[in-house]
Amino acid sequence: MSRLLKRILLCALVGPACVPAHAALEEVMVTATRSPAALVRWPGSVTRLGAASIALVGPTHAIEVVNRAAGAMIQRGSGQESLPALRSPVLSGAGACGAILVLEDGIPIRPTGTCNINQLFEVHYEQASAIEILRGPASALYGSSAVHGIINVIPALPAELPALALGLESGSDEFRRAQLIGSADAGSGRLGLTFVATDDGGWRDESGFREQKLGGAWSGPALAGQLVIRFAATRLRQETAGFIVGEDAWRDRALARSNQNPEAWRDADSARLSAHYRRDGFDARAYLRRSRMDFIQHFLLGKPLEDNGQDSGGLLLGWSWPAIGGGRLIAGTDVEFAASSLLQQQDRPTTGGSPAANAIRPAGKHYDYSVDSTLLAGYLQWQRPFGPHWQLEAGARLERVRYAYDNRMRSGNTDEAGVSCPGGCLYSRPEDRSDDFTNLAPRLGLTWQPNQRLAAWAALARGFRAPEITELYRLQRQQSVADLDAETVDAGELGLRWRSPALAADLATYRMDKRNVIVRDSAGFNVSGGRTRHRGIEYEFDWRLAGGWALAGSGTRAHHTYRFNAALEQGEQIVAGRDVDTAPRELQALRLRRDAGPLTGELEWLHVGGYWTNAANTAWYDGHQLLNLRLAWRPDPAWTLVLRVTNLADRRYADRADFAFGNHRYFPGRGRAAFVELDWRRPAVAGP
């Protein structure tokens, strides 16, 4: 293998850390500006994971790659389920997924207001060309949901793919995975295909899943510019395991493997088609999306079934040109239309609760509604250098979202036939209505770069999210209208970035004040008015040692607190000044890596600090430490054998710790697991 190719693969593996001082301006990311840009000049925090890093990790779940970024602590549920956290506590509830925007090649994977808390299983992260994790508000460019940050999964272009590659993997608990990659010339451009199929028996009882992901792309010249057409589809069929209950229940290996909800399942399908055209300062992206999900809500009394779906399309237009007086002006407009629906129904009378609790949860339909939504937004950004070392960036986005809600059932909180429950039924349906949300998100950033090794930045930004559709129209008890405001966050950040041949390092400190947090109060009403504060310091570094060795690390020291008082549903009490629950103050990771020779790999140490598991700060989880080992042997350019051992020390821990309904609850962490993968690839032949 040539030295140049080795260097390219190493850069993909370690991302920003591979860039020497003389090449710092070539360190490129796309998420922060919606087009390729030099990271060194951007006033903000972003982590870019390259294809080689993703391939070495061989993620069986998105958390294994996303959590390599500082400030990220996505918690794994059952199968492919997850709860997000990025410069935030671990978020849960109807609107939690709306705080972190998930993109595929710069396009949101779901319409505004219809996020899915587990939506990372809808993107093809296993074979991505790169994953960029942007931390902090990004609503000035991306609008609603870019509150705490963005996860952008970037599929490979056909030119980046081999002519043919096959991979087979086997692991603990009947885990099997097959991968196929191919590319070929097609007309004036090139066609690429990626496919992965996973069959996981599940390490807990009756918790296996089968999943398939297909991606295709064509790229080539068109109309004096460049055109990329992409297609992506996913299919998930999952058996689901719920919480185990009891203080420190995760310590019991037999209980950890058990499943107290063997009846639970989830079926999910998604498909996306997009076209991306770029020419001389003009950028256009058009897309169509479709997603469907059915699952049993095993966590609710009565265990109703939910069937939800979204069909949507949109157009993203952007222009860039030199500004009068110097610098560059970027402007754009986004338009999106979506049709969404939700049906919740219960086949049998409710049992398992008290007589009063059972009586307010009748059999039959609970919700049946559709929502047509429209998004229209425009943004403007100005970049201007000042002298040889300074650059100013200022921008703003104005966005309007409109929901048109159509209730397909009787309004109010009766049963399906209009019969009242004693004291009123639990599930309440509003009358037909429409809601509009208009938000302005400014951003101001300043970068100082005295030389090509060092850069410093300061930034102020606002993020926002319109209320989720389920927060507005999936009401309970006597609530007939949810008068909600958009959540907003105002953030400030200071950072340093260092690049030299031996060391690459990033350091940032931030503060974010969040307002209009939507909660469900003690009456069961969805209300705005909550406030939280988020402060922290983050670091990432990659230090090159002798003999092809390197030491890399990332970490966060953060404090997430409530800034309001409230009594919540189930009697939980929020007191200003207390820690937000499920918000560890400390996250650390170290990786000892070897890149040289036919045998490469890394030993990874992960540390999750302790955290309160309820808002009252009366229940605690001590945190945990894990070791993971990954080794790749490449005897020749065509073949690669990979060994991965997760939880090498076989520690007992909890992926998620929670306290609710008077009980300690856990998603237990998996014990030691081993995976072996064999890959073969034939490189693409360069054209004439």
Q: Bridge-partner residues for 321, per DSSP?
A: 329
Q: What are the pLDDT digits (tens) for 348-388? A: 999 989 999 999 999 999 999 999 999 999 999 999 998 88
- In terms of Cα–Cα distance, which of 477, 592, 559, 562 is closest to 526? 477
- 340: which DSSP letter? E
pTM across the whole model: 0.94
Residue 288: the pLDDT is 98
* 390-407 vs 364-386, strand pairing mode: antiparallel
Instruction: Please compute the mean of the pLDDT values over residues 145-165 and round it to a whole number.
Output: 96
Question: What residue type is 385 in one-letter code?
Answer: P
What residues does each domain of the chain span?
Answer: 3-682
Q: How far apart are CA 312 and CA 133, in angstroms?
A: 25
Q: CB 575: neighbour CB atoms within 10 A?
A: 12
Q: How far apart are CA 432 and CA 414, in angstroms?
A: 16
Instruction: Please compute the mean of the pLDDT values over residues 661-665 and round it to a whole number.
Output: 91
pLDDT grade for 92, boundaries at 50, 70 and 90: confident
Main-chain phi, psi angles of 309, to 5 degrees = -155, 155
pLDDT grade for 688, boundaries at 50, 70 and 90: very low
Instruction: Please compute the mean of the pLDDT values over residues 127-155 and round it to a whole number.
Output: 95
Q: What are the pLDDT digits (tens) for 211-254? A: 999 999 999 999 999 999 999 999 999 999 999 999 999 999 99
> DSSP assignment of 182-249, as one string?
EEEEETTEEEEEEEEEEEE--SSTT--EEEEEEEEEEEEEETTEEEEEEEEEEEEEEE----EESTTG
Q: How far apart are CA 43 and CA 441, in angstroms?
A: 16
- Report the residue count for the chain: 688
pLDDT grade for 524, boundaries at 50, 70 and 90: confident
**Cα-Cα-Cα-Cα dihedral sign, residues 332, 101, 67, 86:** positive
pLDDT grade for 497, boundaries at 50, 70 and 90: very high
Q: Bridge-partner residues for 642, per DSSP?
A: 632, 677
Residue 486: the pLDDT is 94
Residue 349: the pLDDT is 94
> DSSP assignment of 81-144, as one string?
-EE--BSSPPP-STTGGGGEEEEETTEESS-TT---TTGGGGS--TT-SEEEEEES--HHHH-T
Mean pLDDT of all residues in the chain?
92
CB–CB of 576/564 below 8 Å?
Answer: yes
- In terms of Cα–Cα distance, which of 525, 463, 468, 437 is closest to 98? 468
- 79: which DSSP letter? T
Tokens 């598991």 found at:
613
Instruction: Please compute the mean of the pLDDT values over residues 177-187 and round it to a whole number.
Output: 96
Evaluate if residue 5 carries a pLDDT over 70.
no
Instruction: Please compute the mean of the pLDDT values over residues 343-351 and round it to a whole number.
Output: 95
Report the CATH fold assignment for 3-682: Maltoporin; Chain A (2.40.170)
Residue 519: the pLDDT is 87
Q: What are the pLDDT digits (tens) for 550-579? A: 999 999 999 999 999 988 877 788 999 999
Q: What is the dihedral of CA 583, 612, 477, 421, to 10 degrees?
A: 140
CB–CB of 392/329 below 8 Å?
Answer: no
Residue 399 three-state SS: strand
Q: How far apart are CA 612 and CA 607, in angstroms?
A: 16
Residue 602: the pLDDT is 97
Evaluate if residue 686 carries a pLDDT over 70.
no
Q: How far apart are CA 511 and CA 141, in angstroms?
A: 20
Q: How far apart are CA 264 and CA 634, in angstroms?
A: 42
Tokens 């990790």 found at:
57
Evaluate if residue 17 carries a pLDDT over 60.
no
Largest CA distance in the chain: 78
Give exposure, 222-231, as e/b (b: 16+ Cβ within 10 Å): beeeebbbbb
Q: How far apart are CA 234 and CA 239, in angstroms?
A: 17
pLDDT over 70, % of the chain = 96
Instruction: Please compute the mean of the pLDDT values over residues 400-416 and round it to a whole number.
Output: 96
pLDDT over 90, % of the chain = 84
Q: How far apart are CA 94 and CA 522, in angstroms?
A: 16
Evaluate if residue 24 carries a pLDDT over 60.
no
Residue 684: the pLDDT is 75
Extract the tokens encoding 580: 């937000």
pLDDT grade for 36, boundaries at 50, 70 and 90: confident
Evaluate if residue 675 carries a pLDDT over 70.
yes
Residue 352: the pLDDT is 87
Instruction: Please compute the mean of the pLDDT values over residues 501-528 and round it to a whole number.
Output: 91
Q: CB 387: neighbour CB atoms within 10 A?
A: 7
CB–CB of 275/228 below 8 Å?
Answer: yes
Q: What are the pLDDT digits (tens) for 243-296? A: 999 999 999 999 999 999 999 999 999 999 999 999 999 999 999 999 999 999
Residue 380 three-state SS: strand
Q: How far apart are CA 502 and CA 17, in angstroms?
A: 9
Residue 687: the pLDDT is 52
Q: Bridge-partner residues for 375, per DSSP?
A: 336, 401
